[in-house]
């Protein structure tokens, strides 16, 4: 009986002493997958219109962009012709910086920085079947702006395994175009400044220009432990213009941008998901320096707080 008591006491001494020797207990993190775009889209982002195309129809978005839809302008995506008198039009309008982030439509062309005036995702359906433009027809819309920029061009957005990329219209031989000018809303007499766009395709359409020829540099953001592309997103947002880039996870809790313009005032923003309803947030306003290395620390935020932060960018 005495020997057993001594043996148990010895085991307890080993266990307690081994715990004292550990400087920090680090639990194994749960695998958290953060689908940022899916979680932060809102039901009101997609505008839906039911149209009777027995005659031309004009619809206007909250920003004031006007789209024209005409009879016989659609075919089924299978290539079959479609009477399509009654169609459903869905439009996602990117006007805030938050919109570009949530929908992953980052302002980049082959790693070149773009400045955006506005962008749209346009889709059409007949009885639930997706439609495409019929031969000889174009999607036409007018985008209002306070200041016309002659460098703005029409771009098409494409999603691939390498990410989202904006391609200048016309590279594939299409006849898409953009014109600057004035027009009137059909229910007012005021003249509106803006761009008239003619597009040979639906899906992602943007009005962008290439950024100034400022020298670019690599900027890396070091975050806290267990920050990966699975649970974290990191963005760079130009303060003075509508330009949004995302960073690449390079490992060891580090995310890097390869093309930030030197001397530009930029906000760096990181969001990490740590649980089913748990989020962390970090941000920093900085002027970009050559080969900059930045350390950022998270703070806990709620989902609603993040929605508010993104909406106010």
Statement to judge: residues 238 and 184 lie in one domain: no
Cβ pair 70, 58 in contact under 8 A: no
Instruction: Give the distance between the most distant pair of CA atoms in the chain.
Output: 103
Statement to judge: residues 62 and 201 lie in one domain: yes
> pLDDT, tens digit, for every residue of 204-217?
999 999 998 778 99
Statement to judge: residues 247 and 281 lie in one domain: yes
CATH number for position 303: 2.60.40
| Tally of helices (H runs) and strands (E runs) in the chain | 4, 23
> pLDDT, tens digit, for every residue of 79-120?
898 888 899 999 999 999 999 999 999 999 998 999 999 999
Q: Is residue 12 part of a domain?
A: no
pLDDT score, position 25: 44
Statement to judge: residues 155 and 276 lie in one domain: no
The rounded percent of the chain whose pLDDT value lies above 70 is 90
Q: Is residue 230 part of a domain?
A: yes
Statement to judge: residues 64 and 156 lie in one domain: yes
Tokens (6 digits) for 148 = 């016309």
On whether the pTM is more than 0.85, the answer is: yes
Statement to judge: residues 172 and 306 lie in one domain: no
> pLDDT, tens digit, for every residue of 23-43?
554 454 567 899 999 999 998
The rounded distance, in Å, linking the Cα atoms of 234 and 244 is 11
Statement to judge: residues 150 and 180 lie in one domain: yes
pLDDT band at 128 (very low <50, low <70, confident <90, very high): very high
Cα torsion 38, 281, 223, 243 to 10°: value is: 70
Statement to judge: residues 145 and 247 lie in one domain: no
**CA distances, 266 to each of 116, 219, 260, 289, 290 (Å):** 16, 11, 9, 11, 14
Q: Is residue 30 part of a domain?
A: no
pLDDT score, position 5: 46
The rounded distance, in Å, linking the Cα atoms of 227 and 40 is 19
Q: Which residues constitute the domain of residue 244? A: 213-311
CATH number for position 171: 2.60.220
Statement to judge: residues 46 and 194 lie in one domain: yes
Domain count, the chain: 2
Statement to judge: residues 142 and 259 lie in one domain: no
């Amino acid at each position: 009986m005495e020997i057993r008591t001594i043996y148990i006491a010895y085991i307890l001494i080993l266990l307690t002493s081994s715990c004292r020797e550990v400087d920090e207990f680090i639990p194994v993190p749960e695998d958290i997958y953060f689908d940022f775009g899916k979680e932060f889209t809102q039901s009101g982002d997609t505008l839906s219109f039911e149209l009777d195309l027995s005659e031309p129809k004009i619809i206007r978005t909250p920003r004031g962009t006007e789209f024209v839809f005409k009879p016989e302008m659609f075919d089924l995506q299978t290539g079959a012709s479609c009477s399509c008198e009654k169609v459903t039009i869905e439009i996602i309008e990117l006007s805030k910086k938050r919109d570009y982030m949530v929908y992953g439509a980052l302002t980049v062309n082959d790693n070149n920085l773009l400045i955006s005036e506005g962008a749209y995702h346009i889709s059409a359906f007949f009885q639930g079947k997706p439609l495409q433009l019929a031969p000889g027809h174009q999607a036409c819309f007018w985008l209002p702006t306070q200041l016309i920029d002659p460098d703005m061009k029409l771009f098409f957005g494409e999603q691939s395994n390498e990410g989202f990329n904006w391609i200048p219209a016309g590279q594939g031989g299409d006849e898409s175009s953009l014109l600057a000018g004035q027009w009137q809303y059909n229910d007012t007499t005021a003249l509106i400044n803006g761009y008239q766009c003619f597009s040979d395709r639906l899906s992602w359409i943007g009005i962008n220009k290439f950024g100034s020829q400022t020298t670019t540099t690599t900027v890396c953001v070091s975050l806290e432990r267990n920050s990966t592309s699975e649970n974290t997103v990191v963005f760079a947002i130009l303060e003075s213009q509508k330009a949004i880039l995302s960073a690449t996870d390079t490992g060891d809790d580090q995310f890097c941008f390869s093309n930030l313009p030197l001397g530009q005032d930029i906000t760096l923003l990181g969001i990490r998901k740590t649980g089913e309803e748990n989020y962390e947030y970090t941000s920093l306003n900085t002027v970009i320096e050559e080969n900059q290395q930045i350390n950022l620390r998270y703070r806990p935020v709620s989902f609603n707080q993040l929605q508010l932060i993104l909406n106010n960018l």
